[in-house]
Amino acid sequence: MKRIYASLLSALLLAAGGLPAKTAPFKDGDRVVFLGDSITHGGWYVTQLQYIWNLRNPGKRLTLINGGISGGTAAGGLARFDWDIAPERPNRVFVMFGMNDVGHGAYWNPATASAKDFEARRNKVDRYCTDMRAIIAKCRAIGADVTLLTSTPYDQYSTLIAKPVVAGVNDPGLFTFANAARGLAEADGLGFVDLYSPLTPILRNNPDVKFLPDRVHPRDNGHLLAAALILEAMDFPAKVGEAVFDASKGARTFTYAPTALPIPADRHYMSDDRLYPLTDRLNREIIRIKGLPDGAYRLAAGGNPIGTFSAANLAKGVNIATLDTPSQRRAQEGLKIAAELKKLAGSLRGLPQCYIQITKRGGDINDQASCFAKLDEWVEEQRVANLADGHYYRYYSGVVKNFKGLYPKREAEKARLEKLREGLFNHCRDPKPFEIAVSPVEPPPATGRAK
């Protein structure tokens, strides 16, 4: 699997013009907005980035802000930048558009594409590049560094998804947009992270794994892979911690004082780790115990057995990052805070999502009655336009229902979001020491009659 992954990734990168450019790592005090569409609005990759960075940098502060809106395009991001993104005062902006810019309708069947389809495709790419250049200029005008992200892929490979396949949206559609984003980044000397190229072969080679249940929006495991790729592009260190203990004088119990916490190895992590080397590249916490007599030893962390290893393996080093240690348990406990943060951040993005529709219809976003009336108009428009299907009507009805519940308490909910960020920060502070112990595994008693 890893050989297949590596060969396909190399082929895609060579076709796209070389390796992705590096982007600067996050640093203490950064305030970063992720500007994008529904994939960002969903927000889990943004929260995963926040949490993993906090785990690895206890006591340091980083603020990652969800700036996604469902259905968003580069044109839409440009239109809302001044009132939605600039007021967040970011010193960095990550921009990911493409999934909606590509224009699915021009890619239904590549084999029968018409001249009109090809013209529509060219026009979409041209519009994307023009709007992205304008976004880059706006970021620079407020003093924010820019990193461009390619879109995550469209899944035209899965055999498990009922939704019909738009056969050319990923190849060549989003492939073309990934190249366009790369070209923009190279032309302006911007940070660049390629999500498309590494994720596409994973989808292609695993049609029986459901990463994108509707072919567009990643599940939690897809968001985690996206976060991992962003961290790797920043040269995020794999090392969580390392300790060497000497057992040559008879000691079998040692105090380990971690300086950071590992990435939580929940079910999504373990699923991804079978398809992509997450642990090798981002999650290494090595314990070495030298001076043990030959034999097998049971290793315990905080009094809890975590595995059996030979003396040679322990001397070489054992990665405990994903094992059931006190640090790993603490990391998994923090996922509850992270999940609440992600949910609330995504819910709050429903405010600007609806403000766009309110102002488009002449409403006043500072007047509740005006907001509600204009949103009722919008929902009715969706009902009439989607009588045959109803999908978008149901979705936007939910968006408006969320807005009506949120609008009266929006300031309180924004304050709660900050408290959740603080809670995540505090959860990762001061990793606690715990005991590492080894004990020999006794050989089983001999059976049968001695001769």
The predicted-structure confidence for 203-229, as pLDDT tens digits, reads as follows 999 998 878 999 999 999 999 999 999
Could you give the C-alpha distances from 322 to 140, 262, 273, in angstroms and in order?
41, 7, 11
**pLDDT (tens digit, 9 = 90+) per residue, 375-394?**
999 999 999 988 767 788 99
Q: For the chain, give the percent of residues with pLDDT over 70.
A: 93
Sequence-distant (≥ 6) Cβ neighbours of residue 140 within 8 angstroms = 146
Q: How many residues does the chain have?
A: 451
As a whole number of angstroms, the distance between CA 328 and CA 262 comes to 6
The predicted structure's pLDDT at residue 365:
98
**pLDDT (tens digit, 9 = 90+) per residue, 103-136?**
999 998 888 889 999 999 999 999 999 999 999 9
**pLDDT higher than threshold 90 for residue 17:** no
Token duo for residue 384? 């009439």
The predicted structure's pLDDT at residue 21:
56
Q: Which of these, 21, 40, 57, 13, lies nearest to 234 by C-alpha position?
A: 21
> Any idea what DSSP says for residue 216?
S
Helix, coil or strand: residue 378: helix
As a whole number of angstroms, the distance between CA 289 and CA 294 comes to 12
Quote the Cα angle for 372-376-377, to 5°: 120
* Mean predicted lDDT score pLDDT of the chain: 92
Could you give the C-alpha distances from 319 to 48, 56, 313, 316, 325, in angstroms and in order?
22, 16, 10, 10, 11
**pLDDT higher than threshold 80 for residue 230:** yes
As a whole number of angstroms, the distance between CA 192 and CA 20 comes to 7
As a whole number of angstroms, the distance between CA 71 and CA 99 comes to 9
Cis before 25? omega within 30: no
**pLDDT higher than threshold 80 for residue 420:** yes
DSSP codes, 152-199: PPP----SS--SPP-TTIIIIIIHHHHHHHHHHHHHHT-EEE--HHHH
Which amino acid appears at position 334 of this protein? G
**pLDDT (tens digit, 9 = 90+) per residue, 56-75?**
999 999 999 999 999 999 99
Place of tokens 């600039």: 86
